[in-house]
Structure 1
Amino acid sequence: MDSAAPRVYFVYETVPFINEVAMDADVLVVGAGPVGLALAIALRQHGVSVRVIDRAPGPATTSRANFVHARGSEVLDRLDALSGLPEESVRAMTITTYAGERPVMRIRFGDPGLDTAAPPMVISQARVEARLRDRLAELGVRPEWGCGLVAAEQDAGGVTAVLSDGRSLRAGWLAGCDGSGSTVRKLAGIGFPGVKLSERFLLVDATLDTTLDRSGTSGWVHPQGMLGAMPMPGGQWRLLAYDPAFTEDKPGEERIVERMARILPERTGLSGIRLLDASWASLFRVHRRLADAYRRGRVLLAGDAAHVHAPFGGQGMLTGIGDAENLAWKLALVVQGRAGERLLDTYEAERRPLATQVLRGSTATTKVNIASGPVGRFLRDRVIVRVMNVAWVQRRVTYTTSQLWVSYRRGPLGGGGRRPRPGDRVPDLACERPDGTSTRLHAELRGRWAVLGGHDAFQAAHRRLGGHVVHLRPVRTLPAMLVRPDAHLACKGGPAEITGWLDGALA
């Protein structure tokens, strides 16, 4: 946290001269992690000007997150930021759980048959961030490092932000993507209720002397706490251990590595396994929190600034970049004067319920993994393990953790009728452009809407959305559809239906 005490002032009355104040950017994004970078890229794809600041001196080279599910890969692909990551990642999609040396459960992750645009990946968040920075640079923006936010003044026409280096920036909107300790959230006065639990986990990236199979992740249930080993690019392993017996308050990396080296053979039951060299180590406790609101006037929150939860299931970065994509197209329409500010209220209405579900799911998964009492261990080792070995249950787990199931049909922009319903995810369909060349739906989105149908339907959308809509013809017969930039269905039907939906949604 910056040394200067944060302060904020909100002025909602009309200020006659405010439109004469020069804007440094349409949107100021605070936080250059994956969520802030994704938001900035998506806004630039829509033609919105952005500035990105971060109080850190430079990019992170290590990270806790190291798995990108299929939904996350889809978002990266629509940001045109996926290039090179699948080839660099480890294709370790199997999780095998052991009790000692005996395998008791094996789960296979992957594409659950929903026409995904890109594969799930085992790859460090730091590498994902690097690719996002490269993509943002291609769009003419680079993060400004060493620039913390210390104050913000909001009025009817925008936000004036004071930075830690004494400069002031003027932007139309302020987006807080600055993590669980978000300065933006605190300045906006948005509550962040929840708990910080006593669950303590050790995390170590290291090379191992082992014969473990690198084609998948291995985990061990043990009375003293679970331990997992995931293969990482470069021949390293990511080691994670629940270790309530390790009670040192603020241990250094050397002590964490020493502890991990000692418990590794004990909990795996593998006498020949040894930790050789560690590149990074950390100790963390689980937080479970959800922001009271995702918007306060011209201030918006995304990612860990809005929700934090246990790391099990790899849902953190996935949910955060989904927030960014959902917010970007809505904010872009408001900035460009194509939609009223009411559209921004649908961001919280669509994304906060998902965060609530993710928080509940990750909490339940954590309880199962760290169960230490006799009843909890019995349920995990004798009941849950057997259930999880059933094929359809494994498919359901893959489907759930991928977030490909996410739908906004019950939200303010959703609707009923036959599937796909408004708000549902539209698969990555094979399509043709008007000139007959082949393409795929998700590749054509990238900051644009798509009309799948006749020319009249396209013209109806074009009149309201301008050049931010493309006309495609699906290879297989489908009803005419208007698809949102985040690959969710806006509406089905011809010109009248599309015009009616746009008039209502963008009012």
Structure 2
Amino acid sequence: MSEVLVVGAGPTGLALACGLRLQGVPVRVVDRAPGPASTSRANFLHARGSEVLDRLGALGRLPEESLRALQVTTYLGDRPIMRLVFGDPGLQTAAPPMVVSQAKVESALRDRLAELGGAVTWHLPLVGLEQDEHGVTATLGGMSGEAPQVERFGWVVGCDGTGSSTRKVAGIGFPGVKLTERFLLADLHLDWDLDRSGTSGWIHPGGLLGAMPMPDPEGAAGRDGGDDLWRLIAYDPGHGGDKSSEQEILDRLRMILPERSGRQVTIGDAEWLSLFTIHRRLADRYREGRVFLAGDAAHAHAPFGGQGMLTGVGDAENLAWKLALVIHGKATGDLLDTYEAERRPLATEVLRGTSGVTKMNVAGNPFGRFLRDRVVVKLFNLPSVQRWATYTTSQLWVSYRKGPLGGRGSKPRPGDRVPDVAVVRADGSASRLHAELGGRWALLVPRAGSDDVEAAVHRRLEDQVSLLRHNDEKAMLVRPDAHMAWRGNDCDGLDRWLDGALGLGQATTRPVR
């Protein structure tokens, strides 16, 4: 029997499955789709997302296959009025932000899952759940005339998107509001003279138009011998309804593109065409007994800022190490309550930010347009604001210091992300902290050693800890998701932290709430 059923084989579900398999947890991954997606709405992964993939061992060749189009130029007519450059966030990371399709990210995660002994079962939806204090009975399939499969799991995690069946059968509400009318979305081969070193956007009375260069999966050559694939997004209120054929979307873009960009353009083949409206939604709770939600099943974002996929894989990494500890009997079920306590406030903050950007981009009244076109664009040309934008979108700032596992003290404080600092392995070879995690904890001790602290950690976490040396006077226990757990040289203080955080030494057979 698999301990965990992961429903949904998008980036969140695959990252969660990889994180659990890294720690030896049996996992079953199912998805209602007939097979892997070849197209995707998400196409940008910021530094923190790359860090997560790297720790999972799933980064692979994505950096080589992605683009570094890390600037956004905004035009008013044919005049550039703002250029936002995403630079170094200044938080010690070796992980690059990437322009890369969600489909490629999913492919890299599937490959890693296969290496770890896992796989995805396609065309198998979740249709029912019944849980008790010992586990969950899941009903899978049975929607196309075949007999349903009834299987038993210890835990279920719904990573099945905004229309989550898991959330619905668990009875968790998903309130929210509609933010916009329809957007057109397309991946098109275009022949025009637009610079591919960054994203371009046009402010126009008819609505926002954006164009982002995309890596061409087929390597097709454009006019100048380079790729000619572009992701287009166009706000299109008042033209058609929520449903249009692909040909109607393409015909509409043939009108919008030259009109709003003011450029001559030859539109070639379309790789993908779609439309959507933007809603802001947040699940009432992330847990119902032995059932959890993660990613878009828990929070629905606007696409601006590239925060959706990023937040989802962060959910997955946070939940994976906690669930693994409970399954292996190294923590009580109370640790699982910290998942929502740490991740839901972040989703609230991200939703607030992406909603604000969305409202600014689609401003329809004269005051809103004046504020956007004459005030905001000038602010974003300031170097200090550009540094802030890089820092904010990277999510490297995320901290849980105010949560139940956080704490006070000198920086980095318990709950803070620990930078990718230089460390020395037990054999004396040099490394970096994040490279030594990979589903494991890390204990960084002063070069002089700290035998009592080392013994206390190994007594509690056994072989799940990497012992490393660093240039600091205090020992540092780092969680598998690269956040600070504890810092100091007081063995009693470490014992108290482990008792409080993991509940070790307490009864582990209590009913799961």
Above 0.5 in TM-score? yes
Runs of 4+ residues over 3 Å off in structure 1: none
Map 1:25-36 onto structure 2 (within 5 A). 25-36=2-13
Distance 2:473 2:300 in 1: 39
Matched, 1:268 2:258: no
Give the aligned partner of residue 219 of structure 2. none
How many angstroms does 1:198 deviate by? 4.3
| 2:80 corresponding residue in structure 1 | 103
1:220 aligned onto 2:202: yes
1:383 paired to 2:360: no
Distance 1:269 1:479 in 2: 60
Match of 1:502 in 2: 498
Matched, 1:250 2:243: yes
Which residue pairs with 2:510 in the alignment?
Answer: none
Match of 2:485 among 484, 490, 501: 490
Alpha-carbon offset, residue 195 of structure 1: 1.8
**Residue 344 (str. 1) matches residue 336 (str. 2):** yes
Q: Aligned partners of 2:432, 2:455: CA distance in 1, in Å?
A: 21
Mapping 1:299-378, distance limit 5 Å: 299-378=291-370
Deviations 1:30-54 (A, max 9, x none): 0001000000000111111100001
Structure 2: distance between partners of 1:459 and 1:266: 69
Contact 1:265 1:274 in 2 (8 A): no
| DSSP 3-state at the match of 1:204 | strand
CA shift digits 1:69-106 (9 cap, x unpaired): 00000000001100100000011001000011110000
Quick one: distance in 2 between partners of 1:185 and 1:478? 47
Match of 1:449 among 432, 441, 452: 441
Letter in 2 for 1:480: A
Matching of residues 158-237 of structure 1 within 5 Å: 158-165=135-142, 166-234=148-216, 235=227, 236-237=229-230
Match of 1:471 in 2: 467
Deviates more, 1:491-500 or 1:446-455: 491-500
1:136 is aligned, of 113, 123, 126, to 113
In structure 2, what residue type is equivalent to 1:385? V
Higher mean C-alpha displacement, 342-351 vs 497-506: 497-506
For the 8 Å contact 2:180–2:279, the answer to whether it is kept is no
Tell me the distance in 2 between the aligned counterparts of 1:142 and 1:455. 42
Structure 2 runs not aligned, ≥5 long? 143-147, 217-226, 504-513
Aligned to 1:54: 31
Aligned with 1:43 (options 11, 20, 27): 20
1:291 aligns with 2:287: no
> How far apart are the structure 2 equivalents of 1:277 and 1:150?
38
The answer to whether the Cα contact below 8 Å between 2:53 and 2:59 also exists between their aligned partners in 1 is yes
Is the CA contact 2:258–2:265 (under 8 Å) kept in the aligned structure 1?
yes
Moved more, 449-458 or 354-363: 449-458
Range that drifts further, 198-207 or 482-491: 198-207
Contact kept? 2:242, 2:276, Cα under 8 Å: no
In 1, the alpha carbon distance for the partners of 2:139 and 2:175 equals 27
Question: Partners of 1:249 and 1:64 in 2: how far apart?
Answer: 17
Distance in structure 2 (CA, Å) of the matches to 1:296 and 1:406:
25
Mapped to 2, the partners of 1:464 and 1:89 lie a distance apart of 41
* Number of residue pairs the alignment of both structures matches: 482
Q: CA offset at residue 455 of structure 1?
A: 4.4
**Structure 1 366/197 Cα, relative in aligned 2: closer, same or farther at 3 Å?**
closer
TM-score normalised over the length of structure 2: 0.93
How many angstroms apart in 2 are the aligned matches of 1:338 and 1:460? 14
Give the Cα–Cα distance (whole angstroms) in 1 for the partners of residues 499 and 105 of structure 2.
37
- Comparing 56-65 with 449-458, greater Cα deviation is found at 449-458
Q: Which residue of 2 aligns with 1:414?
A: 406
2-structure distance, mates of 1:387, 1:48 = 49
- d(CA) in 2 for partners of 1:280, 1:308: 22
With over 3 angstroms needed to count, the CA separation of the structure-2 counterparts of 1:49 and 1:455, relative to structure 1, is: farther
Q: In the alignment, what sits opposite 1:127? A: 104
In 1, Cα distance between equivalents of 2:32 and 2:429: 46
- Aligned identity (percent) is 67
* CA drift at 1:248: 3.2
Distance 1:406 1:348 in 2: 15
Instruction: Provide the rounded CA distance (Å) in 1 between the counterparts of 2:371 and 2:416.
Output: 35
For residues 333-374 of structure 1, what are the alpha-carbon distances to aligned partners after superposition, in whole Å with 9 as ceiling and x for unaligned?
A: 111111111100000000000000011000000011111221
In structure 1, distance between residues paired with 2:371 and 2:476? 47
How far the C-alpha of 1:254 sits from its partner, in A, is 1.3
d(CA) in 2 for partners of 1:69, 1:152: 35
User: 2-side partners of 1:435 and 1:500: how far apart?
Assistant: 30
| Matched ranges for 1:109-120 at <5 A | 109-120=86-97
Q: Is the 8 A contact 1:194 1:290 kept in 2?
A: yes
Q: TM-score, normalised by structure 1?
A: 0.94
Preserved CA contact (<8 Å) 1:70 1:111: no
**Residue type matched to 2:395 in 1?**
Q
| Residue in structure 1 matching 2:421, options 420, 426, 429 | 429
Aligned to 2:221: none
Compute the displacement of 1:153 (Å).
1.1
Shift of 1:197: 4.1
Report the residue type matching 2:230 in the other structure: W
Q: Is the 8 A contact 1:86 1:121 kept in 2?
A: yes
Residue 417 of structure 1 and its aligned partner are, at CA, apart by 1.4
2:487 counterpart of 1:462: no
Instruction: Structure 1: give runs of 5+ residues left out of the alignment.
Output: 1-23
C-alpha deviations, 1:197-220, integer Å up to 9, x for none?
Answer: 442110010111111111111110
User: How many angstroms apart in 2 are the aligned matches of 1:206 and 1:111?
Assistant: 30
Distance 1:468 1:144 in 2: 29
The alpha-carbon deviation at position 276 of structure 1 amounts to 1.7
Two-structure CA RMSD over aligned residues (Å): 1.0
Paired amino acid for 2:466 = V
